[in-house]
Amino acid sequence: MSQAKSERLGNGLGDNNGLSWPGGYARVMGAQEPTISPGDRIIIREHTKRVAEIAADPSQEIKKQLWISHNALGETRPLIFADPENAWYEIIPAAQLQCQGSLARMWEFRLLKEIFWAERIHDDRVIEPAFTVYRVFEESERGFEAKIIGGDGGGAYRWDAPLTDYADLEKLRFRTIKLNPGKTSRFCDLANDVLGDILEVRLAGVWWWSHGMTSDLIMLRGFEQVLYDMHDNAEGLHRLMAFLRDENLAKLDFLQNNGLLSLNNGGDFVGTGGYGWSGELPAVGFDGERVRTQDMWGFSESQETIGVSPQRFEEFVFAYQLPILERFGLNIYGCCEPLDGRFDIIKRIPRLRKVTVSPWSDARGMAEKLGPEYIYSWKVNPAEIAPPAIDEACIRQGLRDAFAATLRNNCRVEVLMRDVMTLGGNPENIIRWTQIAREESERC
């Protein structure tokens, strides 16, 4: 089980989502030695040439313009994004990789994904003529760290929350970032040497996924204890949330002041909802070099507080997220939590553009709430494509019902197949799902 979870690409490589999320990919890449053998170089260059051919096709520019219009609330057909995530290891198993070195296997896997996306999945993801290298860094601890118990092989786990007494809050320290510019430069030089004459090599930083903070909150304090605190120790909980808010703001200040932020208004997966292509970002005053938070998409969520009333969510969570989100040029809110009862609160976020409609939301009710003023970022339940044989009629009817509601309310829609754990060993599932989704979207 352990090998299946953590070594799915061989050489001890792998993660829990098919190296799909930039943060996870950057961590795994940063742990490798920046070397590629002559034999592996030949293999990577052949895959790179195919990616460049795909990226040069005029259809990629058409998709890019669709995203730009869509993200500006223009009227387009529903856009479709399908990421197999964890099931990429079923589509491209370790035995299929030809490279021998660890870094080379990661790069080969990444390039093969681009090719499969374009040649087989046929969603609206844009294949770009670029290859991104991420900055290598370490993040310090806060002084109180949760002890994880279990979880071997990616299974269930629990943890001992370390902050057992709010009197210890003064001992908490902000996490800080320690850069490794030497190793980062070696990765950049290597990428330019191996494939830089075929694809543009870009340097980016991935410093966070969400500014939701409640995942850190429950790791520090514990799920049940946070719920008790809302009633029994509101003052202590407010102090802890203020610490987490200020920690996030300090991180943003550090990154911005040191020129470490990267634009995410291109082919960047932003938050949990689609791609960031935008003509509205960067903001007015951008000098072309130093990225500011107002030049970027921001994102927040609070999946851990799904059972909390809207009033307590507003008091203990949203009040601390808002000062962070106010800094960004455009914003996205929500992940897997249903936002039906919270929308009147989160719509106060300045420049809120995308709102997640999770599988546990009322799709019709959310269409009425969002209308044409926000992007209806619909996360379809990945269980639909998990069995070896999918129920095409059920999938089609679910898409048709949701599209009827969004069409009736003049919504701007993106359909996301994500959080995929398995395809039941059948890669054709995601290919066929995308075909059905496109057929139904074109009826809108």
CB 146 within 8 A of CB 221: no
pLDDT of residue 2: 40
Taking only the tens place, the pLDDT of each residue in 180-196 is: 999 999 999 999 999 99
The segments of the chain whose pLDDT lies below 70 read 1-6
pLDDT at 273: 76
* Contact by Cβ (8 Å): 271, 297: yes
Q: What is residue 5's predicted lDDT score, i.e. its pLDDT? A: 59
282-300: b (≥16 Cβ within 10 Å) or e: beeeeeeeebbbbbbbbbb
pLDDT confidence of residue 274? 87
Number of residues assigned to the chain? 444
| Strands in 47-162 per DSSP E | 79-82, 130-134, 137-139, 147-150, 157-160
Residue identified by tokens 């799915």 is 8
- Tokens linked to 116: 């499969």
Domains delineated in the chain: 2-441 (3.20.20.210)
Strands (E), 117-190: 130-134, 137-139, 147-150, 157-160, 177-179
Strands 79-82 and 147-150 come out as unpaired
Does the pTM of the predicted model rise above 0.85? yes
Q: What is the pLDDT of residue 6?
A: 64
DSSP, collapsed to helix, strand or coil, labels residue 77 as coil
Q: pLDDT of 238-292, one tens digit each?
A: 999 999 999 999 999 999 999 999 999 999 999 987 899 999 999 999 999 999 9
Strand positions, DSSP E, 122-265: 130-134, 137-139, 147-150, 157-160, 177-179, 200-204
